[in-house]
């Protein structure tokens, strides 16, 4: 299996390193300092107290990498629309594209379920550029349950977890889902085939769409946020609203917000990805995590005072810092 990773940052770098170490032919589409480091020194993975350096083919020109069997897109949400058209040279007749990204994907309401609609999500893909470049028929959904950081270009620090859930956007089993899961398992990852990836996406989103922006607004780690009774209550109310939306779109949530917060507390105090991006001055993944939820809720007439407040405040903060477009 020929595998290209687009976006060799934290998650993308971790997957690229593990797949290359397992013997797969891995290539990276990268730019700038990351590309220079990959070419000069390779990809360095820091995990379980060990350092592993892996040499992978890297280019900023997809034509040089050629057709692939699997393309893993691990970009930050704000970068996807601009990058999607550049992926065409990687796509052969049977190439599978698996976005390993946070939040609601562009195809979420088009894939099926009781809320299926041809209308795209304006908050994710306003002009249809992503949909045109990556047709739904090529896509495998993916939910990433692991934490990584990239302290500098070409270096990945693994935190905890190694679980990925993979499935067809419209649900059900498929040979390509099984093949991708087998490849990930060969790389030592915990890969699960999902019969309903939309539900898995919404369940993870329900758990992290609040903690990320609250941490970005406050600068607090997860344990400090959970210890504040007012912040804790605000998060629970926003989660209740997201659960109501899930029920309308065929992604019901059976766990309570308090149960989900208890799971988060067990992970200890950590900086969310959005807090890390805020402190580093990087564009925030606000649209995939919150704007899309607000857009879907609006379409289905769900009252969302807490989600709306969270979106408005975080968006304003990010715009004032130049981390979200005006």
Q: CA 83 to CA 278: how far, in whole Å?
A: 22
Q: Helices 211-218 and 229-248, interaxial angle, to 10°?
A: 150
**Phi then psi dihedrals of residue 53, to 5 deg:** -105, 130
With tokens 């539900």, the residue in question is 199
User: 3, 133, 114: which is closest to 68 by C-alpha?
Assistant: 3
Q: Evaluate whether 250 touches 177 at the Cβ level (below 8 Å).
A: no
Query: Quick one: 129 exposed, middle or buried, by C-beta within 10 A (0-12, 13-18, 19+)?
Result: middle
The Cα 71–Cα 4 span in angstroms is 5
76 a catalytic residue: no
> CB under 8 Å to 84, separation ≥6 — which residues?
129, 130, 133, 134
The one catalytic residue among 2, 76, 204, 271: 204
DSSP class of residue 172 equals: S
User: Is the distance from CB of 76 to CB of 283 less than 8 angstroms?
Assistant: yes
What's the rounded Cα separation, in Å, for the pair 273 and 94? 33
Residues catalogued as catalytic: 204
């Amino acid at each position: 299996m020929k595998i290209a990773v687009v976006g060799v940052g934290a998650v993308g770098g971790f997957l690229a390193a593990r797949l290359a170490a397992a013997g797969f032919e891995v290539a990276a589409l990268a730019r700038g300092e990351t590309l220079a480091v990959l070419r000069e020194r390779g990809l360095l993975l820091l995990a379980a107290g060990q350092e592993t350096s892996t040499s992978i083919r890297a280019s900023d020109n997809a034509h040089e990498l050629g057709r692939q069997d699997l393309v893993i897109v691990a970009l930050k949400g704000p970068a996807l629309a601009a990058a999607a058209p550049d992926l065409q040279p990687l796509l052969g007749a049977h190439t599978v594209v698996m976005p390993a990204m946070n939040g609601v994907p562009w195809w979420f309401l088009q894939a099926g379920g009781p809320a299926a609609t041809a209308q795209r999500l304006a908050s994710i893909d306003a002009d249809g550029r992503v949909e045109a470049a990556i047709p739904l028929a090529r896509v495998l959904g993916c939910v990433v349950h692991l934490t990584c950081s990239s302290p500098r270009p070409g270096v990945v620090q693994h935190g905890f977890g190694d679980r990925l859930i993979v499935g067809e956007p419209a649900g059900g089993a498929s040979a390509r889902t099984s093949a991708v899961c087998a490849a990930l398992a060969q790389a030592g990852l915990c890969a699960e085939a999902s019969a309903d990836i939309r539900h898995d996406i919404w369940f993870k989103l329900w758990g992290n769409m609040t903690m990320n922006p609250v941490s970005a607004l406050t600068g607090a780690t997860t344990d400090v946020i959970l210890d504040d009774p007012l912040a804790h209550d605000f998060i629970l109310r926003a989660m209740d609203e997201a659960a109501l939306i899930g029920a309308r779109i065929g992604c019901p949530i059976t766990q309570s917000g308090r149960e989900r917060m208890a799971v988060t507390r067990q992970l200890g105090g950590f900086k969310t990805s959005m807090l890390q991006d805020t402190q580093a001055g990087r564009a925030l993944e606000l649209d995939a995590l919150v704007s899309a939820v607000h857009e879907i809720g609006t379409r289905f007439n769900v009252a969302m005072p807490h989600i709306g407040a969270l979106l408005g405040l975080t968006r304003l903060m990010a715009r004032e810092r130049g981390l979200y477009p005006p």
